[in-house]
Amino acid sequence: MTKTENPSPSPNVGWVKVPDDIPYELLKSINADNQVLAYENGRYFNAWFEFEASEGGWFWTDDADTEPKPSHFCPLPTPPATTECQDNG
């Protein structure tokens, strides 16, 4: 019997490295209504950009309001479809 090896999944599929100079279009597209999955030092979390002039402009934020500095991000997956439960009794 021949053993077939499965290829290892690529850990970076879908992940985007946060650029050093973040384009304005990206800043505007990732917001509280359009969050992303972010990665920072072994931690995964939802994140988005906010703008506050008193804070010096644009910055990352999350639900914990920690102002993280993620190295990578990717779009959140589409939520699962919901179906109504039917009572068959």
Question: Cα–Cα distances in Å, from 86 out to 79, 80, 82?
Answer: 21, 18, 12
0.75 exceeded by the pTM? no
Q: Is residue 84 part of a domain?
A: no
Q: Is residue 3 part of a domain?
A: no
The domain tally of the chain equals: 1
Q: Is residue 89 part of a domain?
A: no
Q: 3-state SS string over the chain?
A: CCCCCCCCCCCCCCCEECCCCCCHHHHHHCECCECEEEEECCEEEEEEEEEEHHHCEEEEEECCCCCCCCCEEEECCCCCCCCCCCCCC
Q: Is residue 83 part of a domain?
A: no
Q: Is residue 57 part of a domain?
A: yes
Predicted pLDDT at 8 = 43
Range of the domain at 65: 16-75
Q: What is the pLDDT along the chain (89 residues), one digit of tens a residue?
A: 444 444 444 555 699 999 999 999 999 999 999 999 999 999 999 999 999 999 899 999 999 999 999 999 999 988 888 876 555 55
